[in-house]
Amino acid sequence: MRNPFDCPSILSEAMPSFRFFGPLFLAFLVFLSQIALTVQTFTGTYGINYGRIADNIPSPDQVVTLLRAAKIRNVRIYDADHSVLEAFSGTGLDIVIGLPNGQLQDMSSNADHALNWVKDNVQSFVPNTRIRGIAVGNEVLGGTDYELSGVLLGAAKNIYNATRKLHLNDIQISTAHSFAVFANSYPPSSCKFKDNVNQYMKPLLEFFSQIGSPFCLNAYPFLAYVSDPGNIDINYALFQPTQGIYDPKYNLHYDNMLDAQIDAAYSALENAGFGKMEIIVTETGWASKGDDNEPGATVTNARTYNYNLRKRLAKKKGTPHRPKNVVKAYVFAVFNEDLKPGPTSERNYGLFKADGSISYNIGFHGLNAGDSSFLSFKQGIYPQGLFRSYALVYSLSALMVLLFWS
């Protein structure tokens, strides 16, 4: 019987196999470790915007309870409020924070300020708070503030460089655009960027292409319908059965407006030379109440749109023009925000009311749903998911060792 302590003998017999399989084995371990540690900016297909322009909404801790009860993991906020970032710590929720438009000029002109901003609002909270991205400004291009448009790229570059200098390499940099950047979006194949937007958009897209960022689109079939109710079938906007539209250039049929809006944006990207860039819908929703000149802003329509949106995203499919690009979207918004300026609709996009109860039923539960388990959620998703990843690595590694020594 072989002496189990005869290590030189065992190693000498195994050495030829190791020389052959060793490099493959080591490469395999490296590959598995990358699988375990790869950060996903967007998990699944459904997310939500957490706006806070209100004086009567639940605390950030209660919002965490609400979102986890609803199993909504992807969240966007419009600033970097520390009370929110602290509340999200250890929850497993993935969050994209925002650099407000009012700070773009400063961040563009002063790299040190950008570095300090990232230190204070990102480095101080990761990894316990799962900050996955920074949205640099919101709907900057396409408006009339050309000075702000001119500093957007500089701000994005300085924020990006700051994350790299601080070794925060898994933070994605982006900015969201409204449909105001497009010259035409009907039919989808005809869509292009406006001439007065191109001078700012193309350099921005070039930069985002280099760093692997998506094109972030705020897409609202509701706003399109409100602007032209006489010519747009509301069923087409609500994902309801309808004749839809036909795009002769693409030779494609569209049965809902959101898909058409996304493909219009893809067309604009193609025309600009960035056809490979992914699109993520960073805002979409439907108001449950509006002014007299906002037709369609009803609770019934809001429920129909958001319920059908969830079903559409759950299918994990692409659009007619990009069937392999799975649609991912953040719905707007968590709450009705009573202090938002503008038309009545602006204060009535929430899936939840200010007291935490549901605005209408699309399958979520409110804070007052009566289930005490909703109120104690601070542990769970993040550690469990990470441990599962490592368990996978170690299990497969053990299997490789057994095969190696057999």
| 283 labelled catalytic | yes
Domain with 392, as residue range(s), is 377-406
Q: 349-402 pLDDT, tens per residue? A: 999 999 999 999 999 998 875 433 333 333 333 333 433 343 444 444 444 544
For residues 235 and 363, state if they share a domain: yes
30 within some domain: no
Per residue in 139-195, pLDDT (tens digit) is: 999 999 999 999 999 999 999 999 999 999 999 999 999 999 999 999 999 999 999
Report if residue 266 sits inside a domain.
yes
Q: Tokens for 263?
A: 């493909």
CA–CA dist 46, 8 (Å, integer) = 57
Q: Report d(CA 43, CA 47) in Å as an integer.
A: 9
pLDDT the model gives residue 384: 37
Question: What is the four-CA torsion angle of 203, 204, 206, 208, rounded to 10 degrees?
Answer: 170
Of the candidates 86, 139, 147, 278, the residue annotated as catalytic is: 139
Cis, bond preceding 333 (omega within 30 deg of 0): yes
Q: How far is CA 32 from CA 25, 356, 393, 397, in A?
A: 11, 42, 6, 9
Same domain, 235 and 133: yes
User: Does 10 reside within a domain?
Assistant: no
Pair (259, 179) in one structural domain: yes
Q: Same domain, yes or no, for 383 and 317?
A: no
Three-state DSSP at 46 gives: strand
**281 and 197 inside one domain:** yes
- Asked whether residue 74 is domain-assigned, the answer is yes
Catalytic residue among 13, 86, 283, 337: 283
Q: Distance between CA atoms of 295 and 384, rounded to whole angstroms?
A: 46
Banded pLDDT at 256 (limits 50, 70, 90): very high
Instruction: Say how far apart CA 140 and CA 149 lie, in whole Å.
Output: 6
CATH number of the domain that 372 lies in?
3.20.20.80
Position 79 pLDDT exceeds 70: yes
**What is the spatial distance between Cα 169 and Cα 163, in angstroms, rounded to a whole number?**
6
Answer whether residue 333 is part of any domain. yes
Same domain, 144 and 178: yes
Shared-domain flag, residues 129 and 201: yes
In a domain, 352, yes or no: yes
1 domain-assigned: no
Residues 215 and 225 in one domain: yes
Long-range contacts made by residues 22-25, C-beta under 8 angstroms, separation at least 24?
25/400, 25/404
Question: Are 356 and 404 contained in the same domain?
Answer: no
**Residue 196 pLDDT > 90, yes or no?**
yes
**Local confidence band at 41 (pLDDT 50, 70, 90 cut-offs):** confident
Chain Cα centroid distance, residue 85: 17
139 is catalytic: yes
Residues 391, 361 share a domain: no
Give 116-128 pLDDT, tens digit per residue: 999 999 999 999 9
Domain total of the chain: 2
CA-based radius of gyration for the chain = 24
Residues 303 and 399 in one domain: no
- Do 299 and 171 share a structural domain? yes
Whether 5 is covered by a domain: the verdict is no
